[in-house]
Amino acid sequence: MYINAVCHYLPETIVLNEHYTNLNGLTDEWIYKRSGIKQRTKAKEGENTNSMSIEAIKTILENLPYALNDIDLIVGATYTPYDTVGTLAHAVQGYFNIQDAKAITITSACSSFLNAIEIVEGYFAMSKAKKAIVIATEHNSAYNNDEDEQSGYLWGDGAGVAFISKERHSDDDLAILDLNTTGLGNIGKGIEGVYLRPKNGGLKMPYGKDIFVHACKYMVSEVESILKRNDFTVDDIDYLIPHQANVRIIDNVAKTLGLKNGQRIMNIENTGNTGCASTAVALSQNWDRFLKDELIVVTVFGGGYSSGAMLLKK
């Protein structure tokens, strides 16, 4: 598989840490020290997971190596949907009039971008599709409770999109060398660690320490496993794109792997935690910096729990 193009959309509205100082007394220094976040992106009135994804795709249309109607599979990924019946994938298909494509939307919390790509891998393997769009998007602010002192200050909104083909289309493609996802609902606090339930006060993260411990462990082990399986070592990594959950988790993962600061790709300071969109957005923001033969590793951890890693080569 090959990633042919990527794009993203971040809302124009910015919420600074001072908002939470005024709301519940959490200072800029306290928030930044705990999370690495200075500001977060917030969808404006009328924006949602569907509209942000559509706006992202509009930015790349003139630079795609093929027509949108060549797409035969659309996979949406989100835990903050605008509509749970007419799903994200169908909204994109309808807006761009992509005929005859299969359209599905999935969720595995913040790991969903990689889960969606793994689904594409399956369709390609069965020869049921040749070109796919994977859309990772979150509208956290629609579900978040800003007054929640445990996690209300963490969340941002945004969308990242990857166009993926079974065969290479250009020298600019990123080859997906390997991909893995793991369900971890049987460890730690599992589904109680972070959740979003009807009539329950919004997005909740009551067990932050449990998430921290397991995220640090499994984001590292996913990287080590995928490298070993493909006869690489940590020394071969040029860039690491970790899920942008918390700078302390990112720092711990990088330190455990023995990576230098320049190898870590981060955007959390300016976007907040954009859920499953975070690695897709980061990949898009840094697409032009990747050089021929460079090795990029994406590693994720999500609620439920779940984890995964993807190995890319320019």
Could you give the residue numbers annotated as active site? 110, 243, 273
CA distance 122 to 179: 11
CA distance 301 to 30: 24
Strand 39-42 relative to strand 13-16, pairing = antiparallel
